[in-house]
A = this chain, B = another copy of it.
Amino acid sequence: MQVFWRKGYEATSMADLLHATGLSKSSLYATFSSKRDLFLAAFDDYRRNRAKDMFKMLGEDPARAAIEKFFRMAISDAGTCNGEGCMSINQAVELAPIDAEVASRVCGDFTGMERALAKTIERGQKEGSIASSMSALNLARLFVVAFPGLQVMVRAGCERVDIEARLTALLAVLD
């Protein structure tokens, strides 16, 4: 997973994968029939971990703070997405356009995030931590679009101060 994450799919060689897993070619092929199979397994493992983290963070109280923490973590180098950028975003750009199974995972993850955010926003509107009267689903739509947008800016190495200002403007929509 780490190798695919760091190098992307195409640039990862079988030698890289053998080195990272410490397996022989025959053992690797005994478990995964192709580089793509191994990639999908690694990607699914990554996605499961990120989804678990997301649900945990968005479940915190109050909802407004939970959303802010989730987004601040997402743009932080130390967060779920490392210095190489979020694996899902990289795959959205590299593989999804040419691989329908990757595309359905990437887009399904966006929809899952949208639903989780809508639920959290609804909770915040009920408990009062989120003042905006815009529908929870429409607010969630703004945030789910901003997520890969911010990731692209982090990955491109844009100024931290600019990224922070954009995230702050986004969060202000909740107030």
Residues on A facing B (Cβ under 8 Å): 10-11, 84-85, 89-90, 92-94, 96-97, 100, 103, 106-107, 110-111, 134, 137-139, 141-142, 144-150, 152-153, 155-159, 162, 165-167, 169-170, 172-173
Contact = CB atoms under 8 A, between A and B. Distances in A.
Nearest to A89: B152
Contact of A156 (B84, B107, B157, B173): B107
A140 B85 CA distance: 24
A172 B139 CA distance: 10
Nearest to A157: B103
B107 A155 contact: no
Given A145-B170, A146-B145, A152 B152 contact: yes
Nearest to A134: B172
A145 to B, nearest CB: 4
B156 A97 contact: yes
B169 A142 contact: yes
